[in-house]
Amino acid sequence: MFLDDTLLPAFARGCAVLGSGGGGDVGPALVTAAQAVADHGPVRVVQPEDLPADALVMSCGIIGSPTVSTERIGGPLQARTLRATVEELHGVPVAALMSGEIGGSGGLTALTWAAWLGLPLLDADAMGRAYPRMDQAAMEIAGLSPAPCVLVDERGRTVVLHRVDGGWLERLARGVLDSFGGLAATSEYPLRAGQVREAAVAGSVSRALAIGAALAAGVPAAPGADLDRLITGKIAAVERPGDGTTALVVEGLAADAGRLLRIEAQSEYLAAYEDGRARALVPNVIAVLDTRTAAAVQVDGVRYGLRVSVLAAGSAPVWRTPAGLALGGPAAFGLAADS
């Protein structure tokens, strides 16, 4: 499969849904990806089995402020420096790129870099959605080391973190961001193609495409999309108490008249409750879509009166294991796990 300009809008729409209200705005990332594909040609999407088992896969993405990322897009130098540093550290060439986070702008960033570098993009990612922390990755659950972790700014300045576990990765990488101005390209949890099926989330690119195509066709239940509609209505209340949390109430309209759905969020939408019962909980994906455009609305974009449809999608199986729930389930965000 090749991702070309005809598939990019559907891919971006699917990535936005898998962002669960976070992961960065796909709008600027889509423009950059479209330009990269126009300049360098479509990006080949490969399965893990298409590569030798020992082929080096570079998981990659952007960390930092979503607001800063829309102002400082970066360029090929950042991607080339990241690749060169990873190859120097491992002594072998990078065979393919893999998104560190398919949700939000992350999937498009990996695609853009694949076009710039002339490398294939693996049909997989580290999360299957968007999460706020770097260590909330399937490879962490699989027991892979995040080191060496490479961080690069848009001028090619580079920091390498050795001998760190997931917790220290998150702590030290965020410290580096202060010096980098709040944004960095990263590669962490290095792995080989033969490890992807067991240690990462396979099929992420295909899933994003299926979701985007289904929404464009107005058929959320299309095969591969795995979306359930929770409610359609208007945002009747938005609460932002200033502690990094957001809560909103969606009042049902038309066929959903008389229903109320409360959604709780931090960086992403985390829980949806109706009549005191959880309808959807992280690690499942919750997406709020503008009913006029079917575009996913990020947490910081919700406002009173907006007409929306709220959808839920299942998580990758790794997040439903005891270790996965401990790292990326309700308790990891201070929520009760009862339904």
pLDDT at 219 over 70: no
Q: Is 306 domain-assigned? A: yes
Report the alpha-carbon distance of residue 21 to residue 26 in Å, rounded: 11
Judgement on whether residues 52 and 136 belong to the same structural domain of the protein: yes
Model confidence at 224, pLDDT cuts 50, 70, 90, reads: low
**Structural domains in the chain (count):** 2
Mean pLDDT of 326-333: 97
Judgement on whether residues 179 and 304 belong to the same structural domain of the protein: no
Judgement on whether residues 199 and 255 belong to the same structural domain of the protein: no
CA angle (282 as vertex; 112, 125 as ends), nearest 5? 25
Judgement on whether residues 165 and 244 belong to the same structural domain of the protein: no
Encode pLDDT of 158-173 as tens digits. 999 999 999 999 999 9
Judgement on whether residues 155 and 268 belong to the same structural domain of the protein: no
Model confidence at 336, pLDDT cuts 50, 70, 90, reads: confident
Q: Is 339 domain-assigned? A: no
3-state secondary structure of 332: helix
pLDDT recorded at residue 217: 76
- Predicted TM-score (pTM) of this structure: 0.94
Q: Is 68 domain-assigned? A: yes
Judgement on whether residues 188 and 250 belong to the same structural domain of the protein: no
Q: Is 239 domain-assigned? A: yes
pLDDT at 339 over 90: no
Encode pLDDT of 20-58 as tens digits. 999 999 999 999 999 999 999 999 999 999 999 999 999
- Residue 31 to residues 70, 109, 113, 118, 131: CA-CA distances in angstroms? 11, 11, 13, 19, 23
Q: Residue 126 sits in which domain range?
A: 2-206
Phi-psi bin for 247: left (phi > 0), alpha (psi -120 to 50), beta?
Answer: beta
Report the alpha-carbon distance of residue 57 to residue 282 in Å, rounded: 28
Report the alpha-carbon distance of residue 212 to residue 241 in Å, rounded: 33
Among the listed residues 263, 253, 303, 320, the one whose alpha carbon sits nearest the alpha carbon of residue 286: 263
Q: Is 216 domain-assigned? A: no
Judgement on whether residues 133 and 75 belong to the same structural domain of the protein: yes
CATH number of domain containing 168: 3.40.1610.10
Judgement on whether residues 91 and 149 belong to the same structural domain of the protein: yes
Judgement on whether residues 88 and 197 belong to the same structural domain of the protein: yes
Judgement on whether residues 289 and 168 belong to the same structural domain of the protein: no
Judgement on whether residues 154 and 281 belong to the same structural domain of the protein: no
pLDDT recorded at residue 71: 66
Q: Considering the chain, what is the average pLDDT of its residues?
A: 94
pLDDT at 223 over 80: no
- The number of C-alpha atoms within 13 Å of 200 and in the hemisphere containing its C-beta is 32
- Residue 75 to residues 83, 93, 156, 171: CA-CA distances in angstroms? 13, 21, 10, 26
Report the alpha-carbon distance of residue 50 to residue 224 in Å, rounded: 21
Beta strands in the chain (DSSP E): 2-3, 43-46, 56-64, 94-99, 121-125, 149-152, 158-161, 183-187, 191-192, 201-202, 227-239, 246-252, 260-265, 269-274, 277-281, 285-290, 307-313
Encode pLDDT of 111-158 as tens digits. 999 999 999 999 999 999 999 999 999 999 999 999 999 999 999 999
pLDDT at 233 over 50: yes
Phi first, then psi: what are they for 37, rounded to 5°? -70, -40
Judgement on whether residues 41 and 182 belong to the same structural domain of the protein: yes
pLDDT at 186 over 90: yes
